[in-house]
Amino acid sequence: MTSRHRSFESLNSLAPRRRTVVKAAAATAALAGPLTAASSARAVTGAPAFLHGVASGDPLPDGVLLWTRVTPVPEAIPGSGIGPDIEVGWAVATDRAFTNVVARGSVTATAASDHTVKADVRGLEPATDYWFRFSAGGTDSPVGRTRTAPAHDAAVPRLRFGVVSCANWEAGHFAAYRHLAARGDLDAWLHLGDYIYEYGSGEYAARGRVVRPHTPAHEILTLADYRARHATYKTDPDLQALHRSAPVVAIWDDHEFADNTWSGGAGNHTEGAEGAWSARQAAAKQAYFEWMPVRPAVEGTTYRRLRFGRLADLSLLDLRSFRSQQAALGSGSVDDPDRTLTGRAQLDWLKAGLAASDTTWRLVGNSVMISPFVVGSLTADLLKPLAKLLGLPQEGLAINTDQWDGYTDDRRELLDHLRSHAIRNTVFLTGDIHMAWANDVPVNAGTYPLSESVATEFVVTSVTSDNLDDIVKAPEGTVSAAAAPVIRAANRHVHWVDTDRHGYGVLDVTADRVQMDYYALSDRTSPNATSAWARSYRTRSGTQKVERTHDPV
């Protein structure tokens, strides 16, 4: 199955709707809120300003992708489609003071790219920290720190990645990003999807309460809308801090488009009334690649592979562009071999890459949970909110058709491939479902643990998006205490599940083991939320099983 999208060039010619431009102009004050006094002064005087921070991503042994967005004049707000071209210089140095600049260049920011720019810098040294900045019209951007990947055949003793997903602006503040930025020890950080949310203001918030309103206020549909929404998120000071601290490796999930996206539509899209899906999908993709430090891969998607010496490679998936429509619940079509989650080409690419890998660990950035899941005998008061969160019928049918559970032929083919080729040390890293999990990935969940596990999976919870206790509106921890034992009893490959807390993960990789440390936030609605270690799980080399450890890295 192929995705339906327009080229980036043709999308550049799409004019934003008049009402969108008017609303974007009205949003200038909202976007200016988090800016520094100096940036605000530059905006008033008309000098260029870097209001959305700087970022780097997709590190290679000899280079990295740098990103920023410049506001050349005050009226050139994101999504407006107006503003003059401006030359943007960039520089990379081995020190924060830029006394030893090793690379420099320039690129032109135009209204056609929403005044975003990227520099794909090469010729750098592997496994090295660098500092970078941009400049335009006499104004310098903030300084960012990035790091290149180890050399292809380097013997790497350790890698450390931050891991996040599901950051809904209206549901809280992004303190998780602040705590990751403060660590100072990350080789990179992984964003596993739902970097932005498409909803109109108030449609999906924190237990129904809007902590801070979206801009634009309406559900985003057009290229101008998606650009303005990305821009809103990029004004968050904690997100800016994390982007300045380390390179990001990102994939998209559904909310970068619309809830429950598939190749030909989405659950949260009404064809005709909200325009053509093909146009909305193309607009969302264009805005994503404009506003994210991500290299477009096959057919303008996010599936690609990065390597970190001989220790690990990271296969990143796009599970939205090629998938068949989610199966109707109870239809029995989840096993239909003609339906696909990955698309034929991507699944073949993943299988070939896993088989050919000569690294110790094979990491897979995966936006929806691959481990099988059944509900079990939950009480009615817990079953209904869990069904709502996971997209299940409230009668308790044990399928979430938006996950790999809804595309069992693809999963069976992939897991059989791991088993038949004796591919070891495959670890899936997953977001999406606003809960934290540590799972074995069995070939046959019904007979596990008598049958074998061929991989492991670490799922991180949401940064802010509602999880189970939020839907029930119960005190944090009380729902998980009741639901987790039932879930584990019905799913013997699940070692741990926390249905209630928000936070992030830190993945630590050595030759002997891959370990996920799970961290929980004190209050997602507070910009000053504290962070505390919650649990740690690891998988040892050669075991394909998860075990608990009481020693966070």
User: DSSP states of 185-203 as a string?
Assistant: --SEEEE-S-SS--PPTTS
Q: Are strands 312-316 and 361-366 parallel, antiparallel or unpaired?
A: parallel
Give pLDDT, residue 472: 82
Query: Which amino acid is located at 287 in the chain?
Result: A
Q: For the CA atoms of 133, 135, 141, 145, what is the dihedral angle to 10 degrees?
A: 0
Helix (H) or strand (E) holding 94: none
Tokens of residue 37, six digits: 């006094």
One digit per residue, pLDDT tens: the chain, 553 residues? Answer: 333 333 323 323 233 332 333 233 333 333 333 343 344 444 445 799 999 999 999 999 999 999 999 999 999 999 999 999 999 999 999 999 999 999 999 999 999 999 999 999 999 999 999 999 999 999 999 999 999 999 999 999 999 999 999 999 999 999 999 999 999 999 999 999 999 999 999 999 999 999 999 999 999 999 999 999 999 999 999 999 999 999 999 999 999 999 999 999 999 999 999 999 999 999 999 999 999 999 988 778 999 999 999 999 999 999 999 999 999 866 668 889 999 999 999 999 999 999 999 999 999 999 999 999 877 656 656 666 766 666 654 444 446 889 999 999 999 999 999 999 999 999 999 999 999 999 999 998 888 999 999 999 999 999 999 998 898 888 898 889 988 998 898 899 999 999 999 999 999 999 999 999 999 999 999 999 999 999 999 999 999 999 999 989 8
Query: SS3 for 78?
Result: coil
| 393 prior amide bond cis, ω within 30 | no
367: Cα within 13 Å, side-chain hemisphere? 27
Give pLDDT, residue 482: 86
Give pLDDT, residue 296: 80
Q: For the CA atoms of 194, 198, 203, 207, what is the dihedral angle to 10 degrees?
A: 20
The answer as to CATH 2.40.50.140 being correct for domain 159-548 is no
First to last CA, the chain: 42
Q: Where are the domains of the chain?
A: 33-147, 159-548
Query: SS3 for 80?
Result: coil
For 151, 271, 279, 365, the CA distances from 268, given in Å and listed in that order, are: 43, 10, 15, 24
Adjacent-strand bridge partners of 60: 63
For 111, 201, 229, 515, the CA distances from 20, given in Å and listed in that order, are: 16, 15, 12, 46
Do residues 216 and 27 touch, judged by C-beta distance below 8 A?
Answer: yes
Query: 333: burial class by Cβ within 10 Å (0-12, 13-18, 19+)?
Result: middle
Query: SS3 for 227?
Result: helix
Do residues 315 and 309 touch, judged by C-beta distance below 8 A?
Answer: no
Do residues 371 and 439 touch, judged by C-beta distance below 8 A?
Answer: yes
Query: Which amino acid is located at 196 in the chain?
Result: I
Could you list the beta-strand ranges (E) of 303-462: 304-308, 312-316, 361-366, 426-430, 436-442, 453-459
Give pLDDT, residue 46: 75
> For the whole model, what pTM was predicted?
0.89
Give pLDDT, residue 483: 86
Per-residue model confidence as pLDDT tens digits over 67-112: 999 999 999 999 999 999 999 999 999 999 999 999 999 999 999 9
Q: Closest by alpha carbon to 435, among 165, 162, 161?
A: 165
Would you identify the CATH topology of the domain 33-147?
A: Immunoglobulin-like (2.60.40)
Give pLDDT, residue 106: 98
